[in-house]
Amino acid sequence: MTAGPSPDLPSRPLDPFGARLRRAMDERGPLCVGIDPHASLLADWGLNDDVAGLARFTRTVVEALGEHVAVFKPQSAFFERFGSRGLAVLETAVVEARERGALVVMDAKRGDIGSTMAAYAETYLRPDSPLFSDALTVSPYLGYGSLKPAADLARESGAGLFVLALTSNPEGAEVQRAVREDGRTLAATMLGHLAAENAGAEPLGSFGAVVGATLGDLSTFDLAINGPLLAPGIGAQGATPADLPTVFGPAAENVLPSVSRGVLKHGPDAAGLRAAADRFTEEVRTALDQAP
């Protein structure tokens, strides 16, 4: 996993991301596994903090879980830090994960305006791009309208977006829970935009929100956006699958919990990785069956 491929254009248009995600979650279980090759995690696996270690780590995760889990979420920053060689590893990982039937959510949190946002969208959401992913995380805090180039290309390509709305980091509250002149918080405003994007979509819209699983009761927010809710924070950050019904309430059926270190710490043994992913998947299924 050291050289990026040159993917061909799909032979037919993709189904909308929301429909493909619903199908993957139903068939493989509602779990997203992050691919976060921290330097400390590479060391724990007995790997060097270099491109060879990065490639070995990433290949192991994709080969162990690519036919097993619904979604991978590679964190782009941990590949970018190695420059073009790291990005080549990421390109290969994305293609090989998708070849194994897993969906890929690129965790790049891009956000800009105009032609720059359009260029970010083309990087991750254009089907002939080496980094084409099923969905992309984006930041709306230059105004939701700044995301229009990404939203337009996502619709055209059958991809999706996950918009930062209520993130799990404590610092996020000072922006996301700030109150506008109309009395709504910024987070509620973003959720409202997403609900409008997903109106009428079946079985699930393609425009999701990032909502932290560590945030406790969110009943004051309308999470019923008819789209997926990407929920980081399970595992090392302190949240458990049993917390999901409390946090997400009636919207829990559309939650995609994301686990990184909680699974990755069980590598490099492939069986250990699969067992950890299976355990989280079953715990999530059990918790969501109890949701209101």
How is residue 23 written in tokens? Answer: 């199908």
Q: Which of 73, 109, 148, 265 is catalytic?
A: 109
HEC sequence for the chain: CCCCCCCCCCCCCCCCHHHHHHHHHHHHCCCEEEECCCHHHHHHCCCCCCHHHHHHHHHHHHHHHCCCCCEEEEECHHHHCCHHHHHHHHHHHHHHHHHCCCEEEEEEEECCCHHHHHHHHHHHHCCCCCCCCCEEEECCCCCHHHHHHHHHHHHHHCCEEEEEEECCCHHHHHHHCCECCCCCEHHHHHHHHHHHHCCCCCCCCCEEEEECCCCCCCCCCCCCCCCCEEEEEECCCCECHHHHHHHHHHHHHHEEEEECHHHHCCCCCHHHHHHHHHHHHHHHHHHHHCCC
Task: Find all residues with CB under 8 Å of 222, minimum gap 6, and list them.
Answer: 188, 191, 192, 195
Catalytic-residue membership of 265: no
Q: Give CA–CA dist 58/90, Å, rounded.
A: 8
The residues assigned a catalytic role are: 109
